[in-house]
Amino acid sequence: MRKFKQGDKLKFIGTHSFSLELGNIITFSHYIGVSSSMFYARESEVIHYNTDNFELVKEPVDLTKTDKPFGELDRETQKEILAAHYLDDKYILLKIGGNDFIEIQPSPWNSSLIYKVKPEKSTEQLQKEALQKKVEELQKEINSIVVPE
């Protein structure tokens, strides 16, 4: 038996329904009678379903903005952060005080510390850095030219 709270987004995973198709998303309304039954209100009708025909739709978490200690994150978010680091080679930032983060190679992970995935640079940022590097190289070249007097 699944437990949902009002406002949860649910995906229909059942096989028999007159009004829903596999994969349809609904918003949970409330339980009726036994806790495995629920109501779903749609337009002018109210439909009764068994909660076993639904699974919770998890909203994606922006891993670059996590603000809770690692131990307080839900298990799925912890796995996503670890996967981003170990499988996708993303850098991890560790909060060291205030709003300051440092780039680290975390090992072992501490459940009381706050970690987040380091945001990737945008195409514009990369282009700007490349242009700045060219400007610096040209400046060095200009400075190395000796002009006869």
pLDDT, mean of residues 53-65: 79
CA distance linking residue 42 with residue 6, whole number of Å: 15
Residue 24 C-alpha from the chain's centroid: 22
135: pLDDT strictly greater than 80 = yes
Q: Give the pLDDT confidence score for residue 30 in this predicted structure.
A: 61
- Report pLDDT digits (tens) over 12-37: 787 766 667 777 777 766 655 555 55
Band (pLDDT 50/70/90 cuts) for residue 40 is low
Per-domain residue ranges for the chain?
A: 9-56, 63-117
Strand pairing class (45-50; 92-97) = unpaired
Q: Does domain 9-56 have CATH number 2.30.30?
A: yes
